[in-house]
Structure 1
Amino acid sequence: MSAIWYECKVKYRKIDENGIQKVTTEPYLIDAISYTEAERRINEEMAAYVSEEFKITNIKFANYAEIHPFEKADRWFKSKVSLVAYDEESGKERKTSMYLLVQANDVKEAYDNTVHAMKDTMGDYTIPAISESPIIDVFPYFSGEEGDLAALEKFNTIKASKIEVDTMEDPLDIEEVENEFVVEEETEM
């Protein structure tokens, strides 16, 4: 069964980097079967994080096909993936688009993580767009069964892992990266 995701916007008081308290509205992603359940679940999740009063300002259906958390990443990116199919009757290529939400630190890493998430795909695909998502956090649904508890633990561990910055890393050679993308595109076809 595939997940149904709802984007919930929550308004609450938050202390910023300067120690100043301000009112902010942030989007969160909830896995639920209805708007009513999404509202109930976001209330439960936010009550654990926010000690003061908060208000749910909007709940809307989010069109993500899959969510992919990755270790040592702190932001969410929306990747548009176009699946390419050849229609034998008309002789034309058809593209069907879907959106993935992947966790990464920058756009290049989001591209790499999208390719990794699509590695078991049998057909051809392209990634025409990747953009940073305003989503702050993702709350998947788990039934509480033993297998789901292990999956929840794994999801939360990956999502909460801290970023390790390697200051000794060599600078990225753009020519090397471009050649890598050309090789990947040729092997996918």
Structure 2
Amino acid sequence: MSYLLGYFGLGLCFLLIAWIMNRLFRSDDTMQDRLTIPGASAAFDFMEDAVIPVLAVAFIMLCWPLAAWWIAKDMAAPKREDADTPLEKPFAVVQGDLVEFASVAEIEMRELVDDPLGAAPRVPFGHLHKQWVTFRNGVCPGDVIWSFAADRTDTWGLQRRRRGYVCVRGQEIGPFVVTSTQRLPLIGEQ
């Protein structure tokens, strides 16, 4: 009987530590605040305020050794050497991706969004207009804007085509804005 009391006593300590950690490190905008329904029924309030906490306490009291082992194992595990390296190389436009050059006026005329339902604003690039304006403001006199279409294989082995516009300064390819990304079909999907 004393082992059982010790087991539940340690479970209660683990629960108390978890509750304190939750109170100390909880953000102001919690998922519960976003999911709480105004004017919810009394049954929903009872579930949220009584049943769920009781089930959580019962689960922690019974399964605390598993959680403690999991936390200890995670803390003791050595950090992988490649954990800080990115999984995918950053996207860059190369000379072979360039399609044609165009002026800002031609591009804005070509990319003007005309949504009959009015979901997208009637401006060049629609919802991407802010990114376009940032890109356009970075173009210096003497720069040439090219459209590009770049096919790359991602880390999952899928072919993706990115289209957009890039600023070319002399022979150097500068900043770019991606306007569309599409997954290319695999050989068996055609």
TM-score (norm 1): 0.19
| Structure with greater contact order relative to length (CA < 8 Å, sep ≥ 6) | 1
Bigger radius of gyration among the two: 2
Higher helix share: 2
Higher strand share: 1
TM-score (norm 2): 0.18
